[in-house]
Amino acid sequence: MRIGEAVALPVTAVDSKQMVLRVIGKRNKQRALPLTESILDMLRAVWKLHRSRKWLFPSRRIVTHLPDATARAAFNQARNECGFDNQFRPHSLRHSFATHLLEQGVDIRLIQILLGHSSIRSTEIYTHLTEPLRENLRQLLRQTTDGLFEGRGPGNG
C-alpha cells in the first residue's frame, strides 16, 4: 500500500470473513488485498491499543486518521535504527513487494491488481530484475535450448 492509503484505513476496511482488506487507492479506486491470519492478528492488536471506532490508525485525537507525515517519520526512525540509508523510503516497500512476488512466479497482471495500477507499464517499473529472477531466466533458457544444437555441425542440418 501507499503510505496515504495505509494511514487512512477505516476499521470497516477489514473484512475478516472474506479475509481481505479493502483499500481506497488513487482516483478513489477500491481494491481488495488478501489478508493472512498474522496480518489480521496484528491489525487487531493495533486496534486494541486505541479502540477507535473509525480508524485503524488514528491520530492522537482519535477523530482523524494518522497524518502521512507522522507515519513517514516513524518509518524513517525505524529505517535509521536498522541502518538503512535515506534511499530506502516507504515507497521502496512497494517495489520490494512487487519484485518478491515476481520472484515467486506470481503473474505480473496479479501484481498489477494488488498494487492498484491501471496500467501494466506502471507495474513493470516496480519489478526489478534481481539475481533470483536472472537465475530463473537462465534455467528457463537452459530448458528451452537444451539439446537444440546437438548433432548440428557443418553439413548436419
**pLDDT tens digit sequence for 58-74:** 999 889 999 999 999 99
* Cα–Cα separations (whole angstroms), residue 78 to 12, 39, 71, 93, 94: 28, 19, 11, 13, 17
Last residue in a domain, options 86, 114, 136: 86
Q: Which of 134, 130, 131, 93 is nearest to 115 (CA)?
A: 93
Same domain, 20 and 76: yes
In the set 26, 29, 128, 134, the catalytic residue is 26
Residues 29 and 72 in one domain: yes
Is 126 known to be catalytic? yes
Write down the pLDDT at residue 18: 94
- pLDDT tens figures, 28-61: 889 999 999 999 999 999 999 999 999 999 999 8
Spatial contact of 45 and 66, defined as CB atoms under 8 Å apart: no
The residue annotated as part of the active site, out of 29, 91, 128, 138, is: 91
Compute CA distances 99 → 104, 106, 133, 145, whole Å.
9, 10, 9, 26
CATH number at residue 28: 1.10.443.10
Q: Is residue 108 part of a domain?
A: yes
| Chain segment 85-127, per-residue pLDDT in tens | 999 999 999 888 888 888 888 899 999 999 989 898 888 887 7
Q: Is residue 65 part of a domain?
A: yes
Instruction: Choose, from 22, 79, 94, 95, the residue flagged as catalytic.
Output: 94
For the cut 60, the answer to whether the pLDDT of residue 157 exceeds it is no
CA distance 137 to 95: 20
Residue 23 has φ and ψ, to the nearest 5°, of -115, 135
Report if residue 152 sits inside a domain. no
The domain tally of the chain equals 2
Same domain as 77, residue 9: yes
For the chain, percent of residues with pLDDT exceeding 90: 57
pLDDT at 152: 58
Assess whether 81 and 100 both reside in one domain.
no
The amino acid sitting at 79 is: R
Q: Are residue 93 and residue 80 in the same domain, yes or no?
A: no
Same domain for 44 and 80? yes
Is there a catalytic annotation at residue 79? no
Q: Are residues 68 and 108 in the same domain?
A: no
Q: Is 128 a catalytic residue?
A: no
Answer with the one of 38, 61, 86 that is the final residue of a domain: 86
| Residue 133 structural domain | 89-145
